[in-house]
Amino acid sequence: MVQEIKDKIDILNFLRSYLPLSPAAKNFKGLCPFHKEKTPSFVVSPDRQIWHCFGCSKGGDVIKFLMLYENIEFFEALKILA
Task: Dump pLDDT digits (tens) for 35-56.
Answer: 999 999 999 999 999 999 999 9
- Asked if 20 and 42 touch (Cβ cutoff 8 Å), the reply is no
Residues in a beta bridge with 28? 23, 44
The helices-and-strands tally (H runs, E runs) of the chain is: 4, 5
Torsion of CA 17, 9, 77, 3, to 10 degrees: -160
pTM (two decimals): 0.94
Using pLDDT thresholds of 50, 70 and 90, give the confidence band for residue 18: very high
- Asked if 51 and 43 touch (Cβ cutoff 8 Å), the reply is yes
Distance of alpha carbon 40 from the chain centroid: 14
